[in-house]
Structure 1
């Protein structure tokens, strides 16, 4: 191995991610991939990488890596204070980690998931055309562990043309997400109530979905004791189980579900949802197609 990273401390949860697996829903394999796609893509662009190379998705920071060989790295997503051998490094701008130096990522100031990208990408084996870790199915690399060494791929001939991206940080206060009407609105007594309540992000949320806490949404009397046959699910779907508390599906969601979908979050807002911390407040805004 000519260049790579050694995991000193993996943090609470650090995964290898890319753009995910496409075209396998028919056989029950979800897409997975980076939860905050736009942040992942910006990190690669700042390093001159083509889209789709492997990067790290660190949840709540706590990550320490030791370079094997000289590396060019970039941090995007949740802005976590970071240091290379106790020297502060920038956010959303490339920086060098020399052979033997340690990159330390602390808890983010806002947001949940920080992306650590390297020029050349992480060269871990592909599974069904992707290097992404799917926490639902178990496909892809396992979560990072101490002592593990990951290879970094060869750098590309084209060098980055942008050295800084002025990115807004994920908000730490209340967040509003735009939603479209779901296919099962008739299953609820007052589907508009989804946008009337303020919700709180549950600590039981994960890459499969964001569980919301608040005022339960009531089913229509005609459907109160009726079972819904399993239907296909998409990223951003808001499913409401019998307890009335919505679940917003993220990248590792099940490909089918048996609870009615009241709404679907617009694609551009799912990335924002992926950065919500436990306890953060959330509201929805109805939009029409």
Structure 2
């Protein structure tokens, strides 16, 4: 089984060395621009008005957990572009997946995409993503922050779950599981072009045509976040005035606000909305959306009811 291990030599190693045989944990040295705790989200509570939340790139979260022997849904860290730095309060086994980024332990290069042992007192740093947007850092045992409605995920829309990371925060880590560990996991390259399949409906008749979505090129807008991937391109023209009554929204719904620019709902999306929905992007396509940087070209592929291209 492949993993990297470093001796404890960094500053603070002696101070924290006693923690190696105590409760494991991580102290935030540098939180990065936006780092949150995420698992697979809050399922089955949308009727309560609670968003799903959870990792935007689910395959990357599952992969990181498998590398350290965790269940697929164990809580881990999701970083955004700028990475994170953490001090190990006890010896831990970690793995970084998702957006490729340099990984170091006390300043020395360590492996991305495989298990790395970090001694007590050492500083683990995930640097800025070289491609893509979001990296995932899993630790054996999972992050043992309190669960809210069955999930440890941070929800930036509703405010449920732990707050986004700040310097000096301490994150508890659970006991390592006895499950099997993967040696390496396949990783998809962040997209040069984001291709999103789109199952049309229910409000296509609110627009003069939706087939322009397949012809025109859109780009990922800088205003994209965990709530939605926003696009820039030719606006869809309304065929009727007025607004819809508020209705339930699902993951991947493509809502069109008054400016005509399609908005693809991601994990922190609201559970209701009043703008027309032209279609739904299947969940497997959303992992690539989570890694698409602003300016990335977006192409929609329109599907029939049975999932076949038009």
Which among 272, 276, 281 is matched to residue 265 of structure 1?
A: 281
Equivalent residues of 2:27, 2:171 under 8 A apart: yes
Deviations 1:100-157 (A, max 9, x none): 1111111111111000000000000011111000111000000000001101110112
Aligned to 1:133: 154
Aligned pair 1:33/2:54, yes or no? yes
CA offset at residue 166 of structure 1?
Answer: 2.8
Which among 195, 217, 220 is matched to residue 176 of structure 1?
A: 195
TM-score, structure 1 length as denominator? 0.95
CA distance in structure 2 between the partners assigned to 1:79 and 1:5 by the alignment? 22
**SS, match of residue 213 in structure 2:** helix
CA distance in structure 2 between the partners assigned to 1:62 and 1:75 by the alignment? 10
CA offset at residue 23 of structure 1?
Answer: 1.6
Correspondence list, 1:68-83, <5 A? 68-83=89-104
CA offset at residue 19 of structure 1?
Answer: 0.8
Aligned to 1:287: 303
Which among 259, 269, 276 is matched to residue 243 of structure 1?
A: 259
Runs of at least 4 residues of structure 1 off by over 6 A?
A: none
Aligned to 1:155: 176
The CA RMSD measured in Å over matched residues stands at 1.1
Correspondence list, 1:116-127, <5 A? 116-127=137-148
Aligned pair 1:55/2:71, yes or no? no
Equivalent residues of 2:83, 2:135 under 8 A apart: no
CA distance in structure 1 between the partners assigned to 2:126 and 2:258 by the alignment? 40
Which among 106, 122, 128 is matched to residue 107 of structure 1?
A: 128
Equivalent residues of 1:61, 1:80 under 8 A apart: no
CA offset at residue 159 of structure 1?
Answer: 4.2
Aligned to 1:194: 213
CA offset at residue 70 of structure 1?
Answer: 0.6
Aligned pair 1:44/2:65, yes or no? yes
Any stretches of 5+ residues in structure 1 without a counterpart?
none
CA distance in structure 2 between the partners assigned to 1:62 and 1:123 by the alignment? 21
Equivalent residues of 2:226, 2:267 under 8 A apart: yes
How many residues are matched?
284
Equivalent residues of 2:61, 2:72 under 8 A apart: no
CA distance in structure 2 between the partners assigned to 1:202 and 1:137 by the alignment? 23
Structure with higher Rg: it is 2
Aligned to 1:164: 184
Deviations 1:247-266 (A, max 9, x none): 11000000011001112111
Equivalent residues of 2:257, 2:276 under 8 A apart: yes
**SS, match of residue 191 in structure 1:** coil
Closer/same/farther in 2, CA of residues 140 and 87 from structure 1, 3 Å limit:
same
Equivalent residues of 1:61, 1:114 under 8 A apart: no
CA distance in structure 2 between the partners assigned to 1:174 and 1:256 by the alignment? 30
Correspondence list, 1:203-282, <5 A? 203-220=222-239, 223=240, 225-282=241-298
CA distance in structure 2 between the partners assigned to 1:141 and 1:197 by the alignment? 40
Deviations 1:194-221 (A, max 9, x none): 121111111111100011111111111x
Any stretches of 5+ residues in structure 2 without a counterpart?
1-21
